[in-house]
Structure 1
Amino acid sequence: MRQPSPLPPHLAGRSFTLLEQVQAGVPAGRAWRRDLRVASRGVRVPWNEAQPLRHTCRLLTSLTPGAVCCFSTAARLWGCPLPLDLQNELLVHLSKTGGGGRPVRKGVAGHRLTLCEQDMTRLDGIPVTSAARTWLDLASILDVEDLVAAGDYFICSQSRSFGSRREAFCSLADLRAQVAAAPGVRGIRTARQAVDLCRVGADSVPESRLRLAMARIGLPEPTLRYVVEEPAGWELAWPDLAYPEFKVAVNYDGRHHLEARQRESDIRRDESLAAAGWHSVTVTAGHVRTWGYDGCAQRVLDALVRAGWRIDA
Structure 2
Amino acid sequence: MAEAEELGVATKRLRASDLLVPSRGLRLPRRVQTLLEVARPHLDLQQGDFLSHISAAEVLGLPLPAWAQFKPDDGGPVTAVVEPIPWGPKSGPHFREPGRFIHLSRPRNGSLPRRRGVAGHRLTIRDGDLTDLEGAVLTSVARTWVDLASMLPLDDLVVVGDAIVSEHERSFGPPRVPMVSLPELQLFVEKANGIHGVRKARVALDLLRVGVDSPPETKLRLMLEDAGMPVFVPNCRVDDALGRPVWTDLGCPEYRTCLEYEGLHHLSPEQQALDAYRDQRVSEAGWRQVKINKVDMKHGRKWVVARVVQALRKQGWRP
TM tier, smaller: 0.7 to 0.9
Asked whether 1:80 is paired with 2:53, we answer no
* Structure 2 SS opposite 1:238: strand
Quick one: which of 30, 34, 39 aligns to 1:57? 39
Per-residue CA deviations over 1:146-180 (Å, capped at 9, x if unaligned) read 11111111111232233443221112233323432
Aligned amino acid, residue 46 of structure 1: P
Q: Counterparts of 2:20 and 2:40 in 1: how far apart (Å)?
A: 19
Per-residue CA deviations over 1:110-153 (Å, capped at 9, x if unaligned) read 11000112111112221111111111111111111111111111
| Superposed counterparts of 1:1-313, under 5 Å | 18-19=2-3, 21=4, 26-27=9-10, 30-47=13-30, 49-87=31-69, 88=71, 89-97=99-107, 99-230=109-240, 232-235=242-245, 237-290=246-299, 292-311=300-319
Q: Counterparts of 1:261 and 1:293 in 2: how far apart (Å)?
A: 31
The TM-score, its normalising length taken from structure 1, stands at: 0.85
What percent identity do the matched residue pairs reach?
40
Structure 1 unaligned residues grouped into runs of 5+ = 1-16
* Structure 1 SS opposite 2:248: coil
* CA drift at 1:92: 0.5
CA contact (8 A) 1:68 1:127 kept: yes
Aligned amino acid, residue 65 of structure 1: Q
Q: Counterparts of 1:221 and 1:161 in 2: how far apart (Å)?
A: 24
Q: Counterparts of 1:37 and 1:206 in 2: how far apart (Å)?
A: 36
Q: Counterparts of 1:280 and 1:287 in 2: how far apart (Å)?
A: 15
The TM-score, its normalising length taken from structure 2, stands at: 0.83
Aligned amino acid, residue 256 of structure 2: K
Aligned amino acid, residue 53 of structure 1: L
More displaced stretch, 110-119 vs 261-270: 261-270
Q: Counterparts of 1:64 and 1:165 in 2: how far apart (Å)?
A: 40
* Structure 1 SS opposite 2:254: coil
Structure 2 unaligned residues grouped into runs of 5+ = 72-98
Aligned amino acid, residue 142 of structure 1: L
* Structure 2 SS opposite 1:245: helix
* Structure 2 SS opposite 1:128: strand
* Structure 1 SS opposite 2:27: strand
Per-residue CA deviations over 1:267-311 (Å, capped at 9, x if unaligned) read 111111111111111111112223x13421332232222212333
Q: Counterparts of 1:220 and 1:124 in 2: how far apart (Å)?
A: 44
Runs of 4+ with >6 A deviation = none
Aligned-pair RMSD on alpha carbons? Answer: 2.2
Q: Counterparts of 1:51 and 1:213 in 2: how far apart (Å)?
A: 35
Aligned amino acid, residue 212 of structure 1: L
Q: Number of residues paired by the alignment?
A: 291
Q: Counterparts of 1:57 and 1:36 in 2: how far apart (Å)?
A: 15
CA contact (8 A) 1:18 1:44 kept: no
